[in-house]
Structure 1
Amino acid sequence: MEISEIIMLVFCGLFLIPSLASATRFDQWWIRAFDFPRIQISILIISVIIIGIIVFDFSELIHFIAIGLLILSLIYQLHKIYPYTSLAKKEVMEFEDEDPSDNISLLVSNVLTTNNKYHKLLEIVNRRQPDILLTLESDKKWEDALKELEKEYKYTVKVPQDNLYGMHLYSKLKLEETEIRYLVRNDIPSIHGFVRLDDNSKIRIHCMHPKPPSPSEADTSTNRDAELLMLGRDVKDQDKSVLVFGDLNDVAWSRTTRLFQQMSGLLDPRIGRGFFNTFHAGHRFLRWPLDHVFHSNDFTLIEIAREKPMGSDHFPMYINLNFERRAEQEQEKPEAEEEEKEWAQDKIDDAEPRQKGV
């Protein structure tokens, strides 16, 4: 066997690792990190397959096995990201009437604590005029810079922190029963409560920003997974109109986020429409969707968009939804299997949450 073929076999083996690792249930940060760049991994696998076909003369069985395993690995990766392409069926219906009767618009922005381009976010807010603005990683400096918004956004919940997990909620619509909770760790807040629409409908809201698995943040994904899955479990039991939004530090196609959806019964408006990659704003070829808006099946979609960069490592995410009860009869809720529910409860128990429910 020629040296070029041996080198190629090594590369084939290396590019099987991302699929093999992400298919496991291990929660070490370096394993769960393979959940994120599935688009990039797919492109690299395709490149290796093409090069392998050129290098191999297919005179030996190992050549066929190597390319065959890579093709299976590619199919696995594409299967995960396919729902977030325009080829897939849309999970959320389009709003079809001319004028929205009861809409609610949200802007979610991880501002990056060290970012001081406050005016760029203010420009987006002034242009979009969302009903609700959620900022993440916002500290006291960001709070002061956004003070002018409070003329229009009379209802606020402020949690300024310097640890990259501060959050601020601004709303034109009335907020009720709001509370700040620390579900898993005493330095990672989340905001919960209700918002009243113009027709007096009451919508439960949950604003989240769990800690990601990474060498600088957390050795495992256990706490992040537990926070999301605990919310998913409790949202299902509440059986109300719900909005969940924030930087979940997890990609839309990961097992945890998909299970969160199944447990909560909430819908993802990106399915069938696109990736809407919000991180990293500074690296064009290293982006994936970390900022999310999930909602109950009594909403239809008016608009969803990734906004222009505003100095942060995240793009802001904008969404406009129309609240309409009739949509419940036409939009099917995701459902979790019993085995998956048991795995989720094990995850929650492993994290030893500070609070037992949301």
Structure 2
Amino acid sequence: MLSTFQIITVILVILTTLPFSRHEAWWIRGLDFPRLQLFLALLIILFLELMLLDLSSIQTWAIIVIALFCLAYQAWWIVPYTRGFPLEVEGANDSDNKRRIKIITANVLMTNRNAKALIALIREFEPDILVTLESDIWWQKQLDILEADYPYTIKCPLDNLYGMHVYSKFLMMNSQIEYLVEPDKPSMHALALLPSGDRVRLHFLHPAPPSPTENDESSERDAELVIVAKSVADTNVPVIVTGDLNDVAWSETTRLFRKISGLLDPRVGRGMFNTFHADYWFLRWPLDHLFHSKHFSLQNLKRLSNIGSDHFPLYTELVLTADNSNENNGLNADMDDLVWAKFKTKEHNVDKTDVPQPEKHLVS
């Protein structure tokens, strides 16, 4: 029995320690995703080892200590996304509706044909901005009925799983579609005008994941995230970045994005809000994100109901605040982070200047 537990523990140790490496191979970076599942597996194996093995044996205690180390390491990554951890974004106290912005981010799954479910959610939650990922020309035709209420749009229908659409009640200025790293993976950028007259810089992203069917490495995804992070770090305008980033909230690369950009994650201290995979409750993690600058507080954050996609839509309601309640929150970059970020961008010869800055080119 001891040998069985030794084998299982060694496998869990390997799965835990491989991501220590910053190697960008998909099969290593993919292990950033199931940290919750690995944590639970380690918890179960530890319980069984304590219950079934001979606790007078040095070998038993050796595998228990090793499993405990791995359990603590996995917990370090995921505990910030549990209730009780200090909030990174303060709750909203401002009742000024003119400074609110409500966003639904939805990876619709290109082959999904249940547009009615998404439209029903839009009618129920009445977002100011709808962002769809994987939306092709079929989805565009279904969603164009929203234009009576959402007259400002950015449309990029594609049949390669990377189409993207934005429908907005707010005026969007200097809207641009860019292919920042890969020639077939678009991103969208705009400056939204709130009813209060405030302007908010928006970036909508959907980089490709590291996987055997997409990119062999994570370098393309990581480069896109880093140049956007560097770009928004240079502005004083309120910023929102949202989309399916094909990276989990607790990965080292997402933390790098937050460190470089200075943006906040409203999930910290509130929950994981696992949006993928909608069909398998035991294989879920947070792939769809919304990060924002310190100008905002949070009114509401909610994972919405299934729309037939492999992703759940994410609903976020922010309030543009005048106080400095979030000023000291978030993550800070050190020299190692800056060097690593530079390496990420150099790999693909991209730079923060490739990212549109819609506030810089306003037409009077």
Same fold, judged at TM 0.5 (above): yes
Identity %: 41
User: Shift of residue 238 of structure 1?
Assistant: 2.2
Q: What TM-score do the two structures reach when normalised by structure 2? A: 0.94
2:202 aligned to 205, 215, 240, which one?
205
Q: Structure 1's 301 and 31: CA in aligned 2 closer, same or farther, altered over 3 A?
A: same
Q: Structure 1's 178 and 42: CA in aligned 2 closer, same or farther, altered over 3 A?
A: same
Q: For 1:330-349, list aligned pairs within 5 A.
A: 330-349=327-346
> What SS does the corresponding residue of 2:260 show, helix, strand or coil?
helix
Q: Does the 8 Å contact 1:183/1:354 carry over to 2?
A: no
Q: For 1:213-292, list aligned pairs within 5 A.
A: 213-292=210-289
User: Shift of residue 54 of structure 1?
Assistant: 3.0
The alignment covers a number of residue pairs equal to 355
Alpha-carbon distance in 2 for matches of 1:209, 1:283: 22
Q: Does the 8 Å contact 2:88/2:326 carry over to 1?
A: no
User: Shift of residue 53 of structure 1?
Assistant: 2.1
> What SS does the corresponding residue of 1:326 show, helix, strand or coil?
coil
In the alignment, is residue 47 of structure 1 matched against residue 44 of structure 2? yes
Q: Which runs of 5+ in 1 are unaligned?
A: none
1:67 aligned to 41, 58, 64, which one?
64
Alpha-carbon distance in 1 for matches of 2:328, 2:131: 27
Q: Does the 8 Å contact 1:211/1:223 carry over to 2?
A: yes
Alpha-carbon distance in 1 for matches of 2:41, 2:326: 42
Alpha-carbon distance in 2 for matches of 1:172, 1:104: 10
User: Shift of residue 303 of structure 1?
Assistant: 0.5
What residue identity is the alignment partner of 1:119?
A: K
User: Shift of residue 65 of structure 1?
Assistant: 1.4
Alpha-carbon distance in 2 for matches of 1:303, 1:267: 15
Q: Does the 8 Å contact 1:299/1:324 carry over to 2?
A: yes
CA RMSD of aligned residues (A): 1.4
What residue identity is the alignment partner of 1:46?
A: L
User: Shift of residue 56 of structure 1?
Assistant: 2.3
User: Shift of residue 100 of structure 1?
Assistant: 3.6
Alpha-carbon distance in 1 for matches of 2:292, 2:351: 26
> What SS does the corresponding residue of 2:234 show, helix, strand or coil?
helix
CA deviation digits over 1:41-68, x for unaligned, max 9? 1110111111222332134422211110
> What SS does the corresponding residue of 1:238 show, helix, strand or coil?
coil
> What SS does the corresponding residue of 2:274 show, helix, strand or coil?
coil
Q: For 1:295-334, list aligned pairs within 5 A.
A: 295-327=292-324, 330-334=327-331
* Higher mean displacement: 344-353 or 154-163: 344-353
User: Shift of residue 330 of structure 1?
Assistant: 4.5
Q: Which runs of 5+ in 2 are unaligned?
A: 356-364
Alpha-carbon distance in 2 for matches of 1:54, 1:308: 40
Alpha-carbon distance in 1 for matches of 2:84, 2:60: 33
Q: For 1:123-202, list aligned pairs within 5 A.
A: 123-202=120-199
CA deviation digits over 1:171-225, x for unaligned, max 9? 0000001111111100000001200001111111000000001111111111111
- Counterpart of 2:358 in structure 1 is none
- Counterpart of 2:90 in structure 1 is 93
Q: Does the 8 Å contact 1:192/1:205 carry over to 2?
A: yes
* Higher mean displacement: 153-162 or 233-242: 233-242
User: Shift of residue 131 of structure 1?
Assistant: 0.3
